[in-house]
Structure 1
C-alpha cells in the first residue's frame, strides 16, 4: 500500500513512471551520490529539485540506484540538474517532443552560426539522451520505444545540421534552393541512414552510419560540374558538426564508410555513378546493407527515388543460396558455433558473439534476401516486424518468431545497460565480478548469477534457431560435383568441378590427390587410411576451395601429410568435425606461419585433437602446469633446452589456433604469448644457472632478476615478437669471486652467464629458436655490459637515464629469476615511475622523439601499423608519458598499453578521447596479432593471402577490405590528432637526448623498443 501511495505521489509531483525498481551496488554510496546531485541543484538555484532529492521514496531510491550504477548518468545529472528539474513540469515523452521541436528550429534562428548550432545540438542531444536512458531504466519505455527515440533523435539532429548547411550554401550563392524555409526540398542532397539508424534501432551509444549521394539535376544545383566538390565539402562539415568534441561533448559519431568503394570515392557520390557501381560491382554485403537503408535527412523524396531505382539490385526475384552464403561468409556468421562447450558470460560480445544480436539480424536478413524479391511484404527494415512477416509467410516457424523476438529485445536491453555505464560504444560484458553485478542490477536482476543464467539461456536459444537456418538449406550442403582421381588421365568433369570449387590449377591438384590415393606417403600406405581420406576428399576440397587461394592451401596440406607417420585418426576426425576441417583449411590458406610450423613439426597437430582445446584458456596456470610436466625428470642440459623449444613452438601454435578460431580475444592471446615467454625463458634461466654453476660455482648471496621490457613487459607479445630483456643481479657486498673450479669475479660471472642465457634462448638448434633476445634497453645500451648490478641500475635510472628510458620503464615487469629480487626490482620501477618530473618537458621530449622516429624510420605504407603517423607508437607514447607524469588513475600499476589508455586521468584525456584511443588500440591490436600470427614476413598490401583478408575483416567486423583500409586510415588520423592534443611538445629540449638514443642503441633500430 505504501509503495502504491508513493507511486501516486511520484506521478503527480515528478513525471517519471516507475515500472521497475533498481538496486544499487552500494546503498550508502548511492545515497551520497544523490546528495551530491541535490547539492548541485541547490547551487543551480533549483530548490524544488534539491528538496525532492533530499526526501525519501521510490523515486529517490530509483535515482540513487541509477547514479550508483551509471557514472555517465550521474555526471550528467551533476553537471545539468536542470534536466531532472524539468520533469516536474513535463513527462519524458512531452519533454522529448519539446526537444525535437527545438532542434528543428535551431537552423532557422536569426543569428545562427556553425558554432552556435554545434553548441545547441549538443545540449539538446545531451538532455534527450539522459531522459531516454532514465525512462528505459525505469521501465517507463519498452526497449522498442527506446531504440525508436534514439533513432528519432539522430534523425532530428542530422536534419538540423543539413538544413543549416543548405541555407548557408544558398545565402553564399553556391546553391539556389526552391524554398529556403524548406531547405532540403529539391536540394538534391541525399543522406541515407544505414544499419541500426536506417532501421530505427539505434543503440544507446551508437555511431550513425550514413551514405551520401546527390542528384546533379536537382533544381537547387547551380553548376552540376561543381556539385561533387560542393556536396563533399558540405558532408565533411556535417560530420564535423555532429561528431567533433567540444566543451559540450559531441552529437553523434558519424561513419561514412559504407559508401561504394570508400577508399577511392568522394564523400558524396552522384546518383548515376552510385547506381552504375551497384549494378556492375556491388558486393553481396552491400545488398544486405541496403535492406535497412532509409532517407534520414536532406532531399527525402530524391532519397526515396534512389532506393526505388536500387530495388532490382537489392531484391532479386530469384535468389540462390550461394549468394546468401557469400553474404554470411563476409560477415563471418555462416554457421552457429557448435561443440565448443559453455558460453562464457563475462567478456561476451552481446552484438557479435555466439547467440548474439547479429545472429538474429542475419537470420532475418538472409531470409529477406532469399524471399523478398518475390514477396514485397518481406522488405521491411526493422528486425522484429520482419520476424512477424516471415512467420506470416510460413518462412519461419511461430516458435522461431516468438523466441527470437523475445531474445532480441532482451539482448538489446543488455547492450543498452553496458553502454549506459559510461556512454561507451561497446557491446562487451564486463569480465570482472563487480562489473557484471552492475549490469545485472541495471537490468533488474537480483544478482549476477540470475542474470548469467538468463543470458546464457538466451544465447543458446538464438544459436539453436540460427543453426537451424542452415540445416534447412540443402543447396549449401549438396555434393560438390564429379570427383574422379583413378588412373593417370585427368577426368574432364573433375577438372571442371575443381575449377568451380576455386582451384586455379585443377590438373596439378588432380596429380596431388592421385599421389594420396597411390599411397606414396607413410600416412596413406594402409588401405583403411586411403579409404578414410577418400571419404574426406569432397569436404576437404570444398573447405580448401573456400580459402580463395585454394591451390597453395592444398599444396601446404600435402606437405603436411608428407610428414605424418599415420593418418586414420586424423582423417576420421576431420570427416566428423567440420569445424576442425575449416580450421585446418584456414591455417593452410591464410596463415603461412602456422602452416610452416605444422608442416615442419606435424606432432604439434596432436594438440588439436584435444576436444577441450578451444574451451581451455591458455592462462599462466595452464601453461605452467603443462611446462612442468613436459620438462620434469632428471634431464641433460641440452635436452631441457630442446624440450623448451618444442614446448614453446607447440604452445605458440595452439594459442594461435585458439585465436584463429575466435575462442580467445586478441588481448588474451597477447597475455598467453607473454606468459609462455615468461615461463620458458625463466626455465631456461634456471637451466643455465645450474649448468654454469657446475663449472664456475656460485657467487655468495647471488641472485638474478629478469626485467621484461617492451611488448613482453606489457604482456602484448604476438606470435612473431622478439623479446626485450634487462638482466639484473645482486650478491653479498663482500663477495669477490665464485666458489667453483674456475672462479670468476661477480661482474665477469654474471656477464658470462647472461651470454650463456642468450645462446640458450636464441641460438638455432634442430628444434629451432626459443626466442630472439634483445638486450639493448639495458643501461648504456650496446656499449654497456649485458648484465647489470641492481644498485648500478638504480643509480643509472635516477641520475643518468633519459626520458625515453623512463618511458620504456612504464612497460617494465619482472618476469623471472629470484622472487625477492624481483619484488625489489618491481618496487624500484614503481618508485622510478613516480619520481616528480616536468610534465611539459616530458611531453616536449616525447613529441620530438616521435618526430625523429618518423623521420628516420618512415613507414612502408598504411599497413606499417607500428610506424604510421597515428599508429601504435603514438598510442604507446601517449600511455608512457601519462604513466611517468602521473596522469593515470590511481590503482594497481599496469603495464599493458590498452589498460593504461583506458585509465588515463580525466584531466589528461577526456572520456571521448580515452574511448577513441582505446578503440584505435583495439583495432591495431587485432590487425597486428592476426597478421603476425599468419605471416612470417612483412604485410605486403598487394600480396595478401585472401584468407588472411577474410580473417582481418572478421576480427574488425568490417565488410570489405577497402572499408577496412579506409577505417585504418581514419583511425590513424584521429590518433595523430589526439597525440598532438595530448603531447604538445615545444620541440626545443630533446634533440641532444635523441641523438644520444641513436648512438646508445645503434643498429638499424635506432629507437630501441620503438
Structure 2
C-alpha cells in the first residue's frame, strides 16, 4: 500500500473493519494465510469502504486477484478488450446483464481500493473511472447491435453502408473526469436514414435505433441481483423526455440550429463521441461545433452562465442543501463554470480551447494568457481537493452524493485516506478551497459579492428602544404614519422571542434597515410593512432567504412593490418562500414566458429533477406552476398584460402541466402493467378535454380544472406488461393516477383542484369514457345544461386522431336542431337555479359572477345562441371562448353589432374587476352603482333573448 499503511486506524474504523473481517473469514478462511502486510491492508480497506467490504464478502475470490497484480497500474485498454471477450459468446440479455455488472463491480472495487490507498493521483483515478464506464457502455452497445442485427437485419443508408449507433458522452464522462458513483448522461444518434436489410422485414433505421437504445439503457440501468452498471440519464437529448430516444445527424443539426438553448451549449462543451474513433465521429463533432462555439468572441455566454448558476443556487435553497461541495458557493460546479465560460467566450477563435477536459482547458487558458499562473494554481489545487473528497465520499458506499458526512465514522474514513488529523483540519481545507474558488468565480462569472452598508437613519430606527426617539426620527424625515412604529416595535419584540439562531438574527439586523428604506418610499409604510412582515414571518428560520433579500436590492424592491400591489401575491410569497428566488432579477420576473413556450419551458425545468424521483417530479411541477403564476400576476398588476392575455397565459400554463401529469401517470402505470397494443408515450390513445374556464381559455388565479377523460381503445385486449390488465381497466387506472397527481399535496401545495363532474353521467359515471360512447351519451342522454357545458369545451391534450374525432362529435351535438322556445326555457331555468343556489349579496352590492347582468348571464347568452343557431351556422361551433363567439354572432348578424360589442366589453370589464379583486384577496363583489350602466344593458339583452 503506497501510503497510509502505517497510520493507525481510529477505533470506529477498526471496529467496522473487524466486523467485516469476521464475516469474510467465514466466507473465505484462506484470507488468514495471506502475508501480514496484505492482511493489514485488506483490513484497512474493509474499514474504509462499506462498498469494498460488501463486494468482497460476496466475491472473496477477487482478493487474490487484487494482490496478484490488479492493484498495479491500470491499463485502460484492457477494459474494452476483456469486456468484448467476456460478451463474445453471450446469447441472452440476462447473461449480458450479469457479465457487465460483475465486471463493473470487480473493477470498481479495484479502483476504489486504489483511491483509498493513494495508489494514483486524482487525475488518473478520474480517467480510470471514465475509461471503465466508456468500455462498459461501448461493449454493451456492440453486443446489443449484433444481437439486434441477427434478429432484424442491419440498418443501412441509401448506398448500402451499415449505419452505427453513435453515443455522445456528456458531462464528466465526456471530459474523462467521471466520479466514482456518477450517473452518465448520454445522447444517441446515427448518421443517415434508411432501412434494415437482412431481416424478415425491413425496418426504418430510426425505429431500429430507438429499439436498440431502449435495450441498451435497460442493459446498463436496470437493477438486478448484481446491482446496475450505471444510472443512465437520457434527458439531455433534443426535446428532452418528450423527444425521440434516437435522432439522426440531420435531426440533431436542425434542432441545435433552430431550438438549441444556452444551457445546451454549456452541456455540449464536454460532449464526446464514445468508443473507437471513426469518420462518423469527426462528422458529428464538426456538425455540433458551430452551435457550441461562435465564430466571434461571445461575451453573452457570461450572462447565460450567471443565470445558470443562479438557477443552481435557487435549487440549493429550495432543497435546503448544506455542506454540498458540488453545488454550494465555491463548489465543484463553480470551477467548471469559470473554465467553461472562457471556452464558450473564446472557443470560436481559439481552437485549442475546444476540448472536453477541464484540466486540459485550464492549462490552455494559462498558455493563452487568459488566466494568471496563481489563479490556475489555486483553481486546480482547490478543484483536486474537492474532487478527491467527492470521490472518496462516493466510494464509501457507492452512493451518488456530494454532501459532507453527517457522522463521525465517515469523517474519519476521509481523514485517514487523505492523511489528515481530524474533521476540523479537513473542513478547514475544504472551506479554504471553496473560498478561493468562489472569489475566482465572482471575478469571472458572478460579479462582486460586496454588500452595501446600511448606516443611514433606518438602521437607527430599527434599533431604537424608546417610542419618543422613534417619533423624532419619523418627524425629521417627514414620515407621517403614526401606525408604523407601534407595528414595527411589536413585530420586533415578537421576533426577538423566536429561535432563529445567531446567523439568522445577524442577517435580519442587516436586512431590516435596507427593507425599511424601501418601505419608507410607499404611500403608507405601515400598510406596506404589515403585508411584507407576513412574508418575513415565514422565512425567519430560513436564513438563506433572509440573505437573498439582504444581498439583492432588486429582490427587496420587488418584494415591497408586489406585496403592496397585491395581497394575493403577498400570501403566495408567504406560503411558498421559494418564490422569492423569482424576485432576484426584475427583468426576468417581468419577462413572462411566451404563450407557446410553456410546454418546452416545463420540459426544460423538469430536466433538473431525477427522472425516477416521482416525489421531486411532483414538487417540481408545483414549483413551476407557482413561479409562472407569480410572473403572470406581476405582469398583470403592472398593466403589462391585459385580462384577456392573463387568462391565455394561465390557461396555457395549465395545459403544459396537464401534458406532463399525463406523461408521468402513463409512465407509472405502464411500468407496472405495460400498455395496450399499438400505444406508446407519443400515441397513448388518450385525450383530456377541458371544460368551463379552461375550455373557454379563461382561467383565473386559483381556478380549478373541469376535465373529462376519453380514450379511443375499443378492443377487449390486455396490456403487454408483467401484470397485464384489460385495456379499459388500464385507462381507468391512468385516469385515477392523473387525478391523484393533481390532488396530492406536497411542500408546494396542491397542483390544481380537478372537477370531473362534467363527465358522462356526472359523479356516478366512469372516470374515463371511450370516445364513441361519449358521443352516444351526448347525442342520446345528455341534458341541455350538459350541451351548454359542451359549448365551453375543447381538446387540450392527446392524440391527433382523438382531437379530430372529439371536434366532430362536439360539432355534431352542437349542430342538433332544437326548439328555440324550449331551449330558452331550459337555459333560463338552469340560470335561475344557479342564481338561487350561489347568489348571496346584501342590498346595494353586485356579485360580479352571479348577480343579474353579471358574468354568468353573459356566458348563458353565448351558450344559448350557439345551441339555438349552430344547425344553421357551423361557424358557431368553432370557438369555445365567449369573446370570439360574440364576434361570430355579430358577423352572422344573429346579434346586432352594438349588442355584441356591449356584451363583449362588459364581459371583459367584469372579468378584469374579478381578477383585480382576487389579487387583492377580496371577494368578487362591488358596489352596485359602479356597474349599473353596464349591467342594465346586459339585463335588457338577456330578457330580450331568453325571456321573450
TM-score, normalised relative to structure 2: 0.51
Cα distance between partner residues in 2 of 1:975 and 1:447: 46
Cα distance between partner residues in 2 of 1:972 and 1:436: 41
| Contact 1:190–1:300 (CA under 8 A) maintained in structure 2 | no
Aligned to 1:26, the other structure's residue is in SS state helix
Cα displacement (A) at 1:648: 6.5
Aligned to 1:106: 86
Aligned to 2:141: 162
Aligned to 2:325: 350
* Counterparts in 2 of 1:177 and 1:262: CA distance versus 1, 3 Å: same
Aligned to 2:19: 33
Map 1:127-138 → 2, pairs under 5 A:
127-138=106-117
Aligned to 1:85: 64
* Counterparts in 2 of 1:27 and 1:188: CA distance versus 1, 3 Å: closer
2:350 counterpart (375, 379, 382) = 375
Aligned to 1:203: 179
The answer on 1:405 being equivalent to 2:380 is yes
The answer on 1:658 being equivalent to 2:636 is no
Cα distance between partner residues in 2 of 1:323 and 1:171: 47
* Counterparts in 2 of 1:227 and 1:358: CA distance versus 1, 3 Å: same
Aligned to 1:251: 229
Cα displacement (A) at 1:101: 2.5
Larger displacement relative to structure 2 (220-229 or 423-432): 220-229
| Contact 2:10–2:412 (CA under 8 A) maintained in structure 1 | no
Instruction: List alignment gaps of at least 5 residues for structure 2.
Output: 451-456, 459-473, 513-528, 551-571, 578-598, 641-653, 675-721, 726-741, 751-948
The answer on 1:238 being equivalent to 2:213 is no
Cα displacement (A) at 1:442: 3.9
* Counterparts in 2 of 1:253 and 1:195: CA distance versus 1, 3 Å: same
Q: Deviations over 1:563-612 (max 9, x none)?
A: xx999999xxxxxxxxxxxxxxxxxxxxxxxxxxx9xx9999999x99x9
| Contact 1:199–1:292 (CA under 8 A) maintained in structure 2 | yes
Map 1:525-564 → 2, pairs under 5 A:
none
* Counterparts in 2 of 1:644 and 1:391: CA distance versus 1, 3 Å: closer
Aligned to 1:187: 163
2:52 counterpart (73, 81, 84) = 73
* Counterparts in 2 of 1:395 and 1:224: CA distance versus 1, 3 Å: farther
Cα distance between partner residues in 1 of 2:660 and 2:278: 28
Aligned to 1:444: 419
* Counterparts in 2 of 1:287 and 1:226: CA distance versus 1, 3 Å: same
Instruction: List alignment gaps of at least 5 residues for structure 1.
Output: 1-6, 8-15, 478-527, 530-564, 571-597, 627-642, 665-716, 723-860, 873-914, 947-960, 988-1003
Q: Deviations over 1:797-850 (max 9, x none)?
A: xxxxxxxxxxxxxxxxxxxxxxxxxxxxxxxxxxxxxxxxxxxxxxxxxxxxxx
Cα displacement (A) at 1:420: 1.5
| Contact 1:31–1:64 (CA under 8 A) maintained in structure 2 | yes
TM-score, normalised relative to structure 1: 0.48
1:304 counterpart (275, 279, 282) = 282
Q: Deviations over 1:444-491 (max 9, x none)?
A: 322101111111100001111111214899xx99xxxxxxxxxxxxxx
Cα distance between partner residues in 2 of 1:205 and 1:963: 34
Aligned to 1:148: 127
Cα displacement (A) at 1:316: 1.1
Cα displacement (A) at 1:71: 1.9
Larger displacement relative to structure 2 (919-928 or 246-255): 919-928
Q: Deviations over 1:635-674 (max 9, x none)?
A: xxxxxxxx9999875321445783596799xxxxxxxxxx
Aligned to 2:240, the other structure's residue is in SS state coil
Cα distance between partner residues in 1 of 2:544 and 2:222: 39
| Contact 2:335–2:383 (CA under 8 A) maintained in structure 1 | yes
* Counterparts in 2 of 1:1007 and 1:284: CA distance versus 1, 3 Å: closer
* Counterparts in 2 of 1:350 and 1:25: CA distance versus 1, 3 Å: farther
Aligned to 1:214: 190
Structure ID, larger Rg = 2
Cα distance between partner residues in 2 of 1:1006 and 1:962: 18
Cα distance between partner residues in 2 of 1:936 and 1:567: 37
* Counterparts in 2 of 1:378 and 1:335: CA distance versus 1, 3 Å: farther
2:97 counterpart (109, 118, 122) = 118
Cα displacement (A) at 1:138: 0.5
Cα displacement (A) at 1:972: 7.3
Cα distance between partner residues in 2 of 1:1007 and 1:364: 41
Cα displacement (A) at 1:159: 0.9
1 or 2 for the larger relative contact order (CA 8 Å, sep ≥6)? 1
Aligned to 1:273: 251
Aligned to 2:393: 418
Aligned to 1:637: none
Cα distance between partner residues in 1 of 2:299 and 2:242: 31
Cα distance between partner residues in 2 of 1:939 and 1:115: 54
Cα displacement (A) at 1:28: 4.5
The answer on 1:328 being equivalent to 2:214 is no
* Counterparts in 2 of 1:660 and 1:200: CA distance versus 1, 3 Å: farther
| Contact 1:189–1:231 (CA under 8 A) maintained in structure 2 | yes
Aligned to 2:590: none
Cα distance between partner residues in 1 of 2:119 and 2:182: 22
Aligned to 1:581: none
| Contact 2:167–2:274 (CA under 8 A) maintained in structure 1 | yes
Aligned to 1:850: none
| Contact 1:196–1:203 (CA under 8 A) maintained in structure 2 | yes
* Counterparts in 2 of 1:145 and 1:972: CA distance versus 1, 3 Å: farther
Alignment length, in residue pairs?
569
Cα distance between partner residues in 1 of 2:48 and 2:619: 30
Map 1:890-905 → 2, pairs under 5 A:
none
Cα distance between partner residues in 1 of 2:655 and 2:276: 27
Aligned to 1:210, the other structure's residue is in SS state strand
Map 1:705-724 → 2, pairs under 5 A:
720=575
Aligned to 2:204: 226
Aligned to 1:732: none
Cα displacement (A) at 1:190: 1.5
* Counterparts in 2 of 1:360 and 1:649: CA distance versus 1, 3 Å: closer
| Contact 1:212–1:269 (CA under 8 A) maintained in structure 2 | yes
* Counterparts in 2 of 1:265 and 1:660: CA distance versus 1, 3 Å: farther
Aligned to 2:239, the other structure's residue is in SS state coil
* Counterparts in 2 of 1:471 and 1:654: CA distance versus 1, 3 Å: closer
Cα distance between partner residues in 2 of 1:605 and 1:224: 75
Cα distance between partner residues in 1 of 2:745 and 2:285: 54
Aligned to 1:139: 118
Aligned to 2:760: none
Cα displacement (A) at 1:986: 14
Aligned to 2:369: 394
Cα displacement (A) at 1:441: 3.3
Q: Deviations over 1:942-1000 (max 9, x none)?
A: x9x99xxxxxxxxxxxxxx999999999987887799999xx9999xxxxxxxxxxxxx
| Contact 1:177–1:220 (CA under 8 A) maintained in structure 2 | yes
Map 1:790-805 → 2, pairs under 5 A:
none
Map 1:674-689 → 2, pairs under 5 A:
none
* Counterparts in 2 of 1:227 and 1:451: CA distance versus 1, 3 Å: same
Cα distance between partner residues in 2 of 1:616 and 1:971: 43
* Counterparts in 2 of 1:379 and 1:568: CA distance versus 1, 3 Å: farther
| Contact 1:188–1:218 (CA under 8 A) maintained in structure 2 | no
Aligned to 2:761: none
Map 1:528-927 → 2, pairs under 5 A:
650-654=536-540, 658-659=544-545, 720=575, 920-921=614-615, 924=618
The answer on 1:317 being equivalent to 2:295 is yes
2:269 counterpart (291, 302, 308) = 291
Q: Deviations over 1:906-959 (max 9, x none)?
A: xxxxxxxxx998x5545655665786699689999xx9x99xxxxxxxxxxxxx
| Contact 1:208–1:252 (CA under 8 A) maintained in structure 2 | yes
Cα distance between partner residues in 2 of 1:985 and 1:169: 26
Cα distance between partner residues in 1 of 2:540 and 2:309: 25
Cα displacement (A) at 1:140: 0.3
Cα displacement (A) at 1:320: 3.1
